[in-house]
């Protein structure tokens, strides 16, 4: 079973759950009422998010509050940074082109 952060983000419901949890911790049942799916479906999504460590839990009596694990979100950002170097470089190249054009105007 594939269980990495990117696989977790592939599902729109899971992305929505992450956004929900971003503002405050919630129980699975509370999350379920926000969507059209069943509590069990949400539970499955949460299970995956937990396995990927995108979400952490805190038990309170019989309720379990889930909240966002920001560390992992940062990992995605790290992966993106590999590309940021490139797009900055390309902007640099574009800048150079513009500079050359300006010089030629003179």
CA distance 57 to 8: 17
Binder to DNA among 21, 46, 49, 52 (CB under 7 A)? 46
CA distance 14 to 21: 10
Binder to a copy of itself among 1, 3, 12, 62 (CB under 8 A)? 12
| Contact present, 43 and 28 (Cβ < 8 Å) | yes
Neighbour-count burial of 66, counting CB atoms closer than 10 A to its CB (0-12 exposed, 13-18 middle, 19+ buried): buried
* Site residues, a copy of itself (CB under 8 A): 2, 4, 6-7, 9-10, 12, 15, 18-19, 22-23, 68, 70, 73-74, 76-77, 79-80, 82-84, 86-87, 90
* Site residues, DNA (CB under 7 A): 1-2, 7, 10-11, 13, 27-30, 37-41, 43-48, 57, 60-65
């Amino acid at each position: 079973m594939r269980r990495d952060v990117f696989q977790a983000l592939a599902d729109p419901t899971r992305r929505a759950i992450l956004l929900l949890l971003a503002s405050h911790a919630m129980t699975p049942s509370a999350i379920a009422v926000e969507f059209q799916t069943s509590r069990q479906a949400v539970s499955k999504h949460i299970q995956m998010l937990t396995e990927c460590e995108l979400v952490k839990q805190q038990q309170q009596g019989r309720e379990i509050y889930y909240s966002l694990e920001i560390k992992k979100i940062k990992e995605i950002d790290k992966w993106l940074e590999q590309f940021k170097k490139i797009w900055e470089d390309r902007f640099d190249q574009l800048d150079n082109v513009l500079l050359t054009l300006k010089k030629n105007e003179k």
